[in-house]
Each structure stands twice: as C-alpha cells, then as structure tokens.
Amino acid sequence: MIFYTLYGHLAASSLNALHIGKTIKEGAVFATIGDVNENGGWASHLHFQIIRDMGEYLNDYPGVVDPNEADFYLKNCPNPNWILGRDDLG
C-alpha cells in the first residue's frame, strides 16, 4: 500500500534536508518542531496526517477542511494511530 504523510508545523530549518520521496529509516530524527513564532502563534506541536491519495496537491495538503467535505477527507486521511500503533491518542 502506498500512502503519504504530512508533518505540519516543523521548524523551517528542518525543511532544507527534506524532499518528496526521501526514505527515512525507522527511529531516525529528520525534523524538529517549529516554535510558537513559526506556528502562527500556536503552541509548538506536530500535525501528523496520513493521506491515501494526494489528488491534485503536490507540496502540501489541507489539514483543516470545510465540514461539508469532512466525509471525503476522513476516508482519504485515516486515523494516524493506524501507523503510530497508539490507542491512547483518541
């Protein structure tokens, strides 16, 4: 199965070594989370999203959508706990 992942709110400096298709080994540190200034005033956090089909998007993908489109995006973006193996994250 092919799927894509989105890692949002990273430090801008983390993007320099990343590119589409880069292989990242399990457990490898490949980025850091941006501070409050890089997150548009939001507290530092990671937005992790799995995407089945990127559609016409290339370098980004919506992390927030119109509630009227929620059914499509919930099917196209499965719960990330599927890959994280976590039950305690909701």
Q: What is the pLDDT of residues 10-35, one digit of tens each?
A: 999 998 988 878 888 989 999 999 99
Instruction: Band the pLDDT of 88: cuts 50, 70, 90.
Output: low
Task: Tell me the average pLDDT of the chain.
Answer: 88
Measured distance CA(38)–CA(18) in Å, rounded? 18
Q: Is the pLDDT of residue 3 over 90?
A: no
Contact in structure between 44 and 68 (CB atoms under 8 Å): no
Domain map of the chain by residue range?
A: 4-84
Q: Is the pLDDT of residue 85 over 90?
A: no
Q: What angle do CA 53, 54, 56 make, to 5 degrees?
A: 125
Q: What is the pTM of this model?
A: 0.77
Measured distance CA(32)–CA(65) in Å, rounded? 25
Instruction: Band the pLDDT of 67: cuts 50, 70, 90.
Output: very high
Q: How do 4-8 and 47-51 pair as beta strands? A: antiparallel
Contact in structure between 61 and 4 (CB atoms under 8 Å): yes
